[in-house]
Amino acid sequence: MSEYVWPRVCWMGAASSVAPQSSPLHLCERLLLFLVCFGRNPNPRFRESMEGLSLMFRVFYWLCLVASVGGIGANWGMQTSHPLPPSTVVRLLRDNGFQKVKLFDADAGTMDALGKSGLEVMVGIPNDMLAVLASSSKAAQNWVSSNVSAYINDGVNIRSKLRYIIRVSLVERFAYSFKWYVAVGNEPFLETYNGSFLQTTFPALQNIQSALIKAGVGSQVKVTVPLNADVYGSPSGRPSDGDFRSDIHDLMLAIIKLLSDNAGPFTVNIYPFISLYRDPNFPIDYAFFDGNSSPVVDGTTSYTNMFDANHDTLIWALKKNGYGNLPVVVGEIGWPTDGDMNANPQNAQRFNQGFMNHISMGQGTPMRPGPIDAYLFSLVDEDEKSIQPGNFERHWGVFTYDGLPKYQLNLGTTKTGSLIQAQNIQYLDKKWCVLKPAVAPDDSRIAPSISYACSQADCTALGYKTSCGDLDEQGNISYAFNNYYQKNDQDDVACGFSNLATVTEKDPSTRTCRFEIMIVVDSAMPGKLQGVRDCGVALLLAVFVSVVWQLV
């Protein structure tokens, strides 16, 4: 084979085995495959000249991996009446270049879909399981066996296999490490829980850690506890005065020591939106990253956004208690798009794009320079979340319930610089349930009908300065009726409402208010098949590389 043809074959082979995203990690993968193939050129003269260049490429690849360590992840919540199929969500994550995903439980279908995705996984343990896991080490061992070991041992991670096949010695200890985390509980020390989980969180954490070690995966799987930012604070408002809440101070130090002893990160959820929602006097520009707000001055450091200040309040609290070098993961950060006057696509785009720009430069925060490990909250909307904190709770998604991007967002991971929508979604018929035109809006049957519909469905888009806040009376009633109708899969009985409603094929949506058509829950299976094909191509290439290696 011509020495000029061989490099072209190598690059085409590397390109075919790596997903088409342009994230640093995907480019690193392509570079490594190209390097190995390139270095096996059958021309002896060419191979001798490659020795020095090969070392340089390997060093560059290692630096490439280090640069992509932070990456961006997404929270994948499942409190929805019509969830997208797991295979569709995994493809959505990969198409948009997300490198990791954070879960709130260990749903079997979700874990199966993630098993061969190459995504870094943080699997969650719900708060209502903490008591059982705290009281029984056997229960913790069973949980680890079913929800961690089974997937690590049985799942085929193509990238890990390639590391073994390629055997690039300089890179081998760094490349393709498939990290897992177990999140024990979710914000268990929220003050609104009134101490419900204070006695069970740490024992559950201990038992899960022991179970991971006993299962032989303690070095690969790390424990953490996602905590709300209210576990620490600063009496002066300056980050340097940060410390942990007095009522849980000793408990926090016990948790932090266990994390430190086992190389687990401190995971914190930071929400500038919540601060704005709760305090009408909160300076709105301080919630964003534009640098337009009056700074908080802390000694020689000026903070122009709440994220940096809040993050560094935690760092100071850790440092003050002897754990200044503990890794920190931002488990949740984002901005909702509906359900409140400040929750809209414009503000969400402003915040999330500002955050992505902020962390993409790798500068970190004043107290913790360097890449920031973070998960956006959240991937898709969840129409069955509790609205006790506020109507915005069902609208945190970067994507709608059916996988459509809500706004322009450049994650720095796609060729177009835009979000890519979910593929192969199947919808129910194009029909809606609306108030009959002949019915007067003041009909006495309407109020109880709306009350019932909204108690069973989702009417959080109706309200002051929300997406559907400009609808007239008939529009408000129709929105409530339709949401209930769609949630019940367009069942004819669900569009009765004491004979007040009718089904129409004319879309009643307005410029800002979308009357939804629900998805077919079992749709998008072709996406799963495509994922299998992609894995098959990569595996064939891996076998090809292995055979070539043995022959030359």
Banded model confidence at residue 197, pLDDT cuts 50, 70, 90: very high
Cα–Cα distance, 33 to 24 (Å, whole number): 14
- Residue 421, domain member (yes or no): no
- Residue 449, domain member (yes or no): yes
* pLDDT over threshold 70, residue 166: no
In tens, the pLDDT along 298-351 reads 999 999 999 999 999 999 999 999 999 999 999 999 999 999 999 999 999 999
* pLDDT over threshold 70, residue 50: no
- Residue 482, domain member (yes or no): yes
Banded model confidence at residue 175, pLDDT cuts 50, 70, 90: very low
- Residue 356, domain member (yes or no): no
Q: Are residues 459 and 495 in the same domain?
A: yes
- Averaged pLDDT for residues 497-513: 98
Domain that holds residue 535: 5-64+526-551
pLDDT at 256: 99
* pLDDT over threshold 90, residue 234: yes
CA dihedral sign of residues 335, 339, 341, 344: positive
Q: What percent of the chain has pLDDT over 90?
A: 73
Q: Are residues 491 and 447 in the same domain?
A: yes
| Residues ≥6 apart with Cβ < 8 Å to 254 | 202
Q: Which of 68, 5, 4 is nearest to 32 (CA)?
A: 68
In tens, the pLDDT along 515-527 reads 999 999 874 343 3
Cα–Cα distance, 138 to 147 (Å, whole number): 14
CATH, residue 477? 1.20.58.1040
Q: Are residues 10 and 44 in the same domain?
A: yes
- Residue 26, domain member (yes or no): yes
- Residue 156, domain member (yes or no): no
pLDDT at 132: 99
Q: Are residues 493 and 539 in the same domain?
A: no
- Residue 352, domain member (yes or no): no
Banded model confidence at residue 158, pLDDT cuts 50, 70, 90: very low
In tens, the pLDDT along 441-476 reads 999 999 999 999 999 999 999 999 999 999 999 999
pLDDT at 177: 41
pLDDT at 415: 87
Torsional class of 400: left (φ above 0), alpha (ψ -120 to 50), beta (otherwise): beta
- Residue 126, domain member (yes or no): no
Q: pLDDT averaged over the chain?
A: 85
Residue numbers annotated as active site: 187, 332
In tens, the pLDDT along 20-35 reads 444 444 555 555 555 5
Banded model confidence at residue 115, pLDDT cuts 50, 70, 90: confident
Banded model confidence at residue 111, pLDDT cuts 50, 70, 90: very high
Q: Are residues 449 and 496 in the same domain?
A: yes
Q: Are residues 530 and 474 in the same domain?
A: no
CA separation, residue 108 to residues 105, 148, 216, 359 (Å): 9, 11, 21, 33
Contact 119, 90 (CB under 8 A): yes
Q: Which of 29, 82, 42, 215 is nearest to 140 (CA)?
A: 215
What does the chain come to in residues?
Answer: 552
- 473-506 in b/e form (b: 16+ CB < 10 A) is ebbbbbbbbbbbbbbbebeeebbebeebbbebee
* pLDDT over threshold 50, residue 538: no
* pLDDT over threshold 90, residue 389: yes
pLDDT at 43: 60
Among the residue ranges 115-119, 282-286, 433-437, the one predicted with the least confidence is 115-119
pLDDT at 549: 38
pLDDT at 48: 52
For the chain, the domain total comes to 2
pLDDT at 8: 57
Q: Name residue, tokens 């390109």.
A: 15
Q: Are residues 497 and 542 in the same domain?
A: no
Cα–Cα distance, 467 to 339 (Å, whole number): 8
pLDDT at 71: 78
Among the residue ranges 272-276, 349-353, 414-418, 538-542, the one predicted with the least confidence is 538-542
pLDDT at 506: 98
Q: What is the pTM of this model?
A: 0.83
